[in-house]
């Protein structure tokens, strides 16, 4: 479980994306992919029903009947993608200043959701910024790549 008190920021990933955009080399693209599948943490906008009750510890407790609904954003072709935001600043481009319920997810979480949800075409990192799209085939490829990297 992610530590919700730890701010979500992905400086290494953002620097790698900037380098990739500048150089457009295979090496720079590979560096971005490796960070996405190993260390990146993303904010996922969700709707939690009923809203979680905050505990004395500052953590939120979810009840047994809690439902979590993930948002999907359509790309220009109308295909639905799960949005993944690298920071609160990027998330604000979607929801503005209002309080948005979120979960902190990793590549493993997103890949599991894409595989499980046949409606989703994939996931997109910072859809209103870098807009890095990972379609279903790419997600499956990256799952295998991570398996080879970690030996699992």
Residue 56, pLDDT score: 57
Q: What is the dihedral of CA 17, 142, 109, 123, to 10 degrees?
A: 60
Query: What's the average model confidence in pLDDT over 22-38?
Result: 95
Residue 60, pLDDT score: 66
What confidence tens digit (pLDDT) does each residue in 91-149 have? 999 988 888 889 999 999 999 999 998 889 999 999 999 999 999 999 999 999 999 98
Determine the Cα–Cα distance for residues 117 and 112; give it in Å rounded to an integer. Answer: 9
What confidence tens digit (pLDDT) does each residue in 37-68 have? 999 999 999 998 887 766 555 566 677 788 88
Q: How far is CA 123 from the centre of its chain?
A: 7
Residue 95, pLDDT score: 86
How does residue 90 score in pLDDT terms, banded at 50, 70 and 90?
Answer: very high
Q: Going by C-beta distance under 8 Å and a sequence separation of 6 or more, which residues neighbour residue 133? A: 75, 81, 122, 123, 124
Residue 7, pLDDT score: 74
Q: Going by C-beta distance under 8 Å and a sequence separation of 6 or more, which residues neighbour residue 116? A: none
How is 76-96 classified by DSSP, letter by letter? Answer: TT--EEEEEBSSHHHHHHHHT
- The H or E element containing residue 143 is helix 136-150
* pTM score, whole prediction: 0.86
Query: What's the average model confidence in pLDDT over 1-19?
Result: 79
Q: Going by C-beta distance under 8 Å and a sequence separation of 6 or more, which residues neighbour residue 60? A: 4, 52, 53, 54
Structure tokens at 16: 């790698």
């Amino acid at each position: 479980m992610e530590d919700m008190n730890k701010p979500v920021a992905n400086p290494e990933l953002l620097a790698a994306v900037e380098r990739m955009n500048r150089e457009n080399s295979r090496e720079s693209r590979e560096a971005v992919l490796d960070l996405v599948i190993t260390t990146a943490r993303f904010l996922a906008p969700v709707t939690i029903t009923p809203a979680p009750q905050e505990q004395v510890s500052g953590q939120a407790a979810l009840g047994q009947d809690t439902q979590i609904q993930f948002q999907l954003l359509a790309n220009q072709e109308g295909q639905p993608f799960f949005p993944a935001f690298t920071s609160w600043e990027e998330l604000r481009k979607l929801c503005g200043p209002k309080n948005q319920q979120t979960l902190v997810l990793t590549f493993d979480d997103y890949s599991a959701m894409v595989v499980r949800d046949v409606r989703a075409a994939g996931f997109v990192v910072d859809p209103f910024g870098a807009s890095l799209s990972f379609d279903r085939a790419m997600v499956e490829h990256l799952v295998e790549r991570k398996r080879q990297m970690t030996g699992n």
